[in-house]
Amino acid sequence: MKPLILIIEDNEQNLYLATFILEKSGYAVIASRSGPEGIALAGQQRPALILLDIQLPEMDGYQVARQLTSEPATAAIPIVAVTSYAMVGDKEKALASGCTGYIEKPINPETFVREIEKHLPGIAAAPGAH
Ligand code: MN
């Protein structure tokens, strides 16, 4: 079975690109355009990994990550934050909120899958490899 990845992203172009690249690389993808819906989907579907936009309506990605990691059903799922913020401290803020990794927009199709796979259990590189 293909690993399932949940993308929580409100920007259609980013969602389209990320979905396209992941499906082409053999992953199954489900998507949500808001934090609350994404949290519900994560609990129901238990994806192998969550790709989380930080700039979202209603709840921002930091809040979403905190809630996902505080609920037993979703606490163990790796979360990779995706943000266009280029500010110092954003990476630390994402990690402090419970994200396991961080990717900056714009998505680079050449490195995107490799970046994500660092955080996928069973596919991840050996500890210390990155
Ligand atoms: Mn956004």
Interval between CA 54 and ligand 1 midpoint (Å): 6
Interval between CA 84 and ligand 1 midpoint (Å): 9
Interval between CA 81 and ligand 1 midpoint (Å): 11
C-beta atoms surrounding 98 within 10 Å: 19
Average pLDDT, the chain: 90
pTM of this structure: 0.91
Interval between CA 5 and ligand 1 midpoint (Å): 18
| Percent of residues, the chain, with pLDDT higher than 90 | 78
DSSP-derived secondary structure for 70-99 = HSTTTTTS-EEEEE----TTHHHHHHHTT-
pLDDT value, residue 78: 98
pLDDT tens string 14-46 = 999 999 999 999 999 999 999 999 999 999 999
Interval between CA 129 and ligand 1 midpoint (Å): 30
**At 65, is the pLDDT very low, low, confident or very high (cuts 50, 70, 90)?**
very high
Interval between CA 33 and ligand 1 midpoint (Å): 9
Residue 101 has pLDDT above 50, yes or no: yes
Query: Is-contact 111 105, C-beta < 8 A?
Result: no
Identity of the residue numbered 50: I
Q: List % helix, strand, coil for the chain (3-state, nearest 5).
A: 35, 20, 45
Interval between CA 41 and ligand 1 midpoint (Å): 18
pLDDT value, residue 85: 60
